[in-house]
Chain A
Amino acid sequence: MFGYYVDLALRSLKYSKVLTGLMVLAIAVGIGACMTTMTVMHLLSGNPMPGKSEVLFYAQVDGTPASFAFTHRQEPPDMLDYSSAIDLWRAGKGNRQALVVDSPVRLTAPDMKQPALMEMLLSTTADFFTMFDVPFKYGGPWSTEDDLRRSRVAVISADLNDKLYGGVNSVGRIMHLHDADVRIVGVLKPWRPSPLFYDVAGGRHAHGHTADYYSKPEDVFTPFFTGLEINDGNFHQYNCWGAPKVVGHLTDSNCTWIGLWVELDSYAMVARYRAFLAAYAAQQTKMGRLAFAYDTRLRSLMEWLEFNQVVPGDVRLQTWLAISFLVICLCNTIGLLLVKFIRRGGEIGVRRALGAARRHIFMQCLVEAAVIGFLGGIGGFVLTLLGLGLVRRQAVPYADLAHLDAGMFGATFLLAVLVSMLAGTLPAWRASFIAPALQLKTL
């Protein structure tokens, strides 16, 4: 029966080409707009660490110095001051912990005769690579001893390895960072978490301008203290109470500028870590260093991303716009389908008179709607590819991420067929109630 309905649908579609064209076009445009924005939304609001995000936490202690206890505070600053960060890291109460801070650094590869580059340097601790499942192509991460000894070692990104060394194994080579020589111990495989979650901070003050959270990871990674030493003078504060003594040198300043991620494998550990943070803040407040003891937070990765509203406001707005656009296209299609089915009243009357039940008519009309939806889906798919092409050409940090994966490809057709069948339900129901006698009389 289904095959017959499809055949009937195709005949009827051929019979009124203009009307069919209008409906297919409306669905294609609606689906195209919707799927383009949905794909971008899907890419930007996804989980950057699937399977691991539940055990990764961002620790916050309010670094406001005691002398600023008079200020108003609702949330701790998004980053830690140096003393708190180091104390919490040294305590080692999590399964793993990583300090993160990035800074721009001048870089040269002495043996490659290329002009100097400015790249972003991430100063972090050894656990970073295991915690975040960072894939290595050559070599591996440094050790915790390297962290403590301030070893002059570095891990570089695949991009930088291609740029400097043409993609060959560069482990063991010496690179010049700022004024210091560092030895490369590891080269990463291409790695592009979306968003760059470990650097996210300050989203609630960004007013939706959060596209930068989707930039590429840093190109150079060094042990935390090594980075601080080498690139001293180039660090940026997140927030300060009083200016630092020397610009860009923040280790002894009243500034917050370091992030701390901890891996906690069980609920019990999370609870223990929360208690530990609270106890630390209380102790520091008692000592007269910090102002707000009650102000600690421990958010899981996804909570932290949500708190920072990482999906850019423009993208969310575009998604709403596209959905409402699809709704209007749906209205349009319902109207046109209604016209189409009622116009064929005569034909439907004959079928009913020959013994087709109401549900047969209903099914036939629904199949016709689905066929239109499928055709619209093909158009919508082409338009989605076009739309994503446009997104890729936009000057936004996430442009290179915009592509259609298999899931979204399937979703395009599914959505198109579903939408058109939804649109077809009402007209099909109306068509199935066409009285055969009345129609036959007019034939």
Chain B
Amino acid sequence: MDIRPILFTLRRHKLTCCLLVLQIAFTCAIVCNTIFLISQRLERMRVPSGIAERELVYVQMAYIGKRPDEKARAAADLAALRSISGVKAATLINEMPFDYGSDNSDVRTDPAQRMPVLSASQYFGESAVKTLGVQIVEGRDLRPEEYVDLSDAFALLAAKQYDKLPSAALITRAMADRLWPGQNPLGKQYYVGKSISFTVVGVVANLIRPGRDRLDVGAQYSSVWPISLTLAQGAFLIRCAPQDRDRVLRVAVDKLKALDPNRIVLDKGTMEQHRRDFFQNDRAMAGILLGVCLALLIVTALGIVGLASFWVSQRNRSIGVRRALGATRGNILHYFQTENFLLTTMGVVLGMVLAYGINLFLIVHYELPRMPAVYFPVGAILLWCLGQAAVLGPALRAAAVPPVVATRSV
């Protein structure tokens, strides 16, 4: 179809055309970036944790004050939990994946480094690996004889007896690759502070570190240290079959309360629900973004419908003349569709530039990554489809104009 007459007509409506092109450009730019933001959130929510999420329940108890027999009481509590039928493993753990906050230490491969290589979180707790269900891909798990109680570790630190501190550690693949790129991490040493060193005895595939602010910066930078905890320092983490979770949780709380009625359950639940809670803001934000995206497209579509209807009614007579001169309904329909396609294309081209600009702004102000090129055609196709859908109604009405209109005065 020859587009010259269309362009000629459009030149007579410069202002309205400019407005429409601008609106499409803005919409395209914002929709591109919004879809990108949504995909970012969804990706964040899909982050692998490396743990047996569907098999874990937790109970967090309130601090119950200092008591001399803390270690014995912790052992008794854990024994009681492990005796529940269906429980595969249980531990007292210092922090859980998907907690809002996290404890992190600076890690250096040489104690004299001015800047640490990275900051990583550390998990404590006897048989933490088994309970979490973390997959060891190289080396071995921590051995029971390597464990040291946390309070004892602090006492050793205070006495500067660093050689008696535990020195074996498990680290994640991501952390190993960052610390020693391309090398075998087993047997390598890293430093926390100046005088505490750890030897890597095993590498786990994935183990997410807690902390909402840590997901964007090395989500998998975690280590496991052979340190055991007492009641005041940790939460109970219990592993069982997915279908047993509710029952195990109920029995576990009852048993713990029976062992010491004078304590408060701060929080309890399944790891699945803990993960859901962790991401609830991201989910809400993704929903808001999706809503805005749809609303934008609807508003723009309505704008196109309004303008196109106006043009159709304005050109009623010329349409009649064209029909009388032999143009088919199809010709008229195609005329308006092509016109819309041209305008949308102009808008889309301008929109791409704008989208790139907005992305740069987001990179600077919101630490967002660069938008992959694939989002540009996605936005373009979306706008083209939207334009065609919006113009169809008015165009069909135009096509329905009978040739006899040409003979009327208005």
Contacting pair A207 B216 (CB below 8 A)? yes
Closest to A104 in B: B63
Q: Which of B147-155, B180-188, B202-210 contacts A (4 or more CB under 8 A)?
A: B147-155
B43 within 8 A of A: no
Contacting pair A328 B296 (CB below 8 A)? yes
CA distance A269 to B16 in the complex (A): 62
A367 within 8 A of B: no
CA distance A190 to B27 in the complex (A): 45
Min CB distance B113 to A, Å, is 9
Contacting pair A70 B157 (CB below 8 A)? no
B30 within 8 A of A: yes
A42 within 8 A of B: no
CA distance A243 to B296 in the complex (A): 53
Contacts of A22 on B, CB cut-off 8 Å? 302-303, 306
Contacts of A318 on B, CB cut-off 8 Å? 285, 288
CA distance A342 to B295 in the complex (A): 27
A133 within 8 A of B: no
CA distance A336 to B300 in the complex (A): 11
Contacts of B327 on A, CB cut-off 8 Å? none
CA distance A212 to B101 in the complex (A): 11
CB-defined interface of A327-344 with B at 8 Å, one 1/0 digit per residue? 111011011101100110
A430 within 8 A of B: yes
Contact of A106 among B62, B112, B281, B288 (CB under 8 A): B62
Contacts of B154 on A, CB cut-off 8 Å? 243-247
Contacting pair B213 A206 (CB below 8 A)? yes
Min CB distance B159 to A, Å, is 9
Min CB distance B372 to A, Å, is 19
Q: Which of A25, A118, A243 has the most CB of B within 10 A?
A: A243
Contacting pair B280 A395 (CB below 8 A)? yes
CA distance A29 to B292 in the complex (A): 10
A72 within 8 A of B: yes
Contacting pair B299 A118 (CB below 8 A)? no
A178 within 8 A of B: yes
Contact of B15 among A233, A313, A327, A430 (CB under 8 A): A430
CB-defined interface of A55-97 with B at 8 Å, one 1/0 digit per residue? 0000000000001001110000000000000000000000000
B98 within 8 A of A: no
In the complex where A207-B217, A328-B299 touch, is A317 in contact with B193 (Cβ < 8 A)? no
Within 8 A of B (CB), among A5-26: 19, 22, 25-26
CB-defined interface of B129-170 with A at 8 Å, one 1/0 digit per residue? 000000000000000000000110111011000000000000
CA distance A339 to B17 in the complex (A): 11
Contact of A118 among B150, B262, B264, B303 (CB under 8 A): B264
CB-defined interface of A248-268 with B at 8 Å, one 1/0 digit per residue? 000000000000000000000
Min CB distance B292 to A, Å, is 6
Contacting pair A313 B299 (CB below 8 A)? no
Contact of B296 among A70, A115, A118, A325 (CB under 8 A): A325
Contacting pair A209 B302 (CB below 8 A)? no
Contacts of A117 on B, CB cut-off 8 Å? 264
Contact of A234 among B63, B157, B194 (CB under 8 A): B63
Contacting pair B296 A335 (CB below 8 A)? no
A205 within 8 A of B: yes
A interface residues, how many (CB within 8 angstroms): 62
CB-defined interface of B227-246 with A at 8 Å, one 1/0 digit per residue? 00000110000000000000
Contacting pair B26 A327 (CB below 8 A)? yes
In the complex where A207-B367, A321-B34, A331-B26 touch, is A247 in contact with B292 (Cβ < 8 A)? no
Contacting pair A335 B19 (CB below 8 A)? yes
Contact of A328 among B27, B112, B277 (CB under 8 A): B27
Instruction: Kindly state the interface size class of chain B when it binds its partner.
Output: 35 or more
CA distance A33 to B155 in the complex (A): 57
CB-defined interface of B8-44 with A at 8 Å, one 1/0 digit per residue? 0000000110011011001100100010010000000
Min CB distance A349 to B, Å, is 14
In the complex where A314-B285, A332-B302 touch, is A178 in contact with B65 (Cβ < 8 A)? yes
Contacts of B64 on A, CB cut-off 8 Å? 106
B4 within 8 A of A: no
B258 within 8 A of A: no
In the complex where A206-B213, A245-B158 touch, is A395 in contact with B114 (Cβ < 8 A)? no
CB-defined interface of B278-291 with A at 8 Å, one 1/0 digit per residue? 00110011001100
In the complex where A178-B65, A207-B217 touch, is A328 in contact with B30 (Cβ < 8 A)? yes
CA distance A336 to B306 in the complex (A): 6
B381 within 8 A of A: no
A130 within 8 A of B: no
Contacting pair A242 B367 (CB below 8 A)? no
In the complex where A26-B299, A328-B296, A328-B300 touch, is A314 in contact with B281 (Cβ < 8 A)? yes
Contacting pair B213 A209 (CB below 8 A)? yes
A396 within 8 A of B: yes
A200 within 8 A of B: no
Contact of A332 among B281, B303, B367 (CB under 8 A): B303
Contacts of B26 on A, CB cut-off 8 Å? 324, 327-328, 331
B212 within 8 A of A: yes
Contacting pair B15 A338 (CB below 8 A)? yes
Contacts of A440 on B, CB cut-off 8 Å? none
CB-defined interface of A147-188 with B at 8 Å, one 1/0 digit per residue? 000000000000000000000000000000011000000000
Contacts of A396 on B, CB cut-off 8 Å? 281
Contacting pair B115 A335 (CB below 8 A)? no
Contact of A321 among B62, B262, B292, B310 (CB under 8 A): B292
Contacting pair B300 A332 (CB below 8 A)? yes
Contacts of A205 on B, CB cut-off 8 Å? 213
Contact of A335 among B20, B100, B216 (CB under 8 A): B20
A436 within 8 A of B: no
Contacts of A26 on B, CB cut-off 8 Å? 299, 302-303
Contacts of B47 on A, CB cut-off 8 Å? none
CA distance A209 to B278 in the complex (A): 12
A394 within 8 A of B: yes
Contacting pair A245 B157 (CB below 8 A)? yes
Contacting pair A106 B367 (CB below 8 A)? no
CA distance A432 to B313 in the complex (A): 22
Min CB distance A180 to B, Å, is 11
Contacts of A234 on B, CB cut-off 8 Å? 63
What are 9 A-B contacts with C-beta separation under 8 Å?
Answer: A67-B194, A211-B281, A245-B157, A247-B154, A318-B288, A331-B23, A336-B306, A336-B307, A338-B15
7 A-B pairs besides A22-B306, A29-B299, A328-B299 with CB distance below 8 A are: A71-B114, A106-B63, A243-B193, A245-B155, A316-B365, A335-B20, A396-B281
Closest CB pairs A-B (n = 9): A245-B158, A331-B23, A339-B310, A332-B303, A335-B19, A209-B212, A209-B213, A72-B114, A207-B213
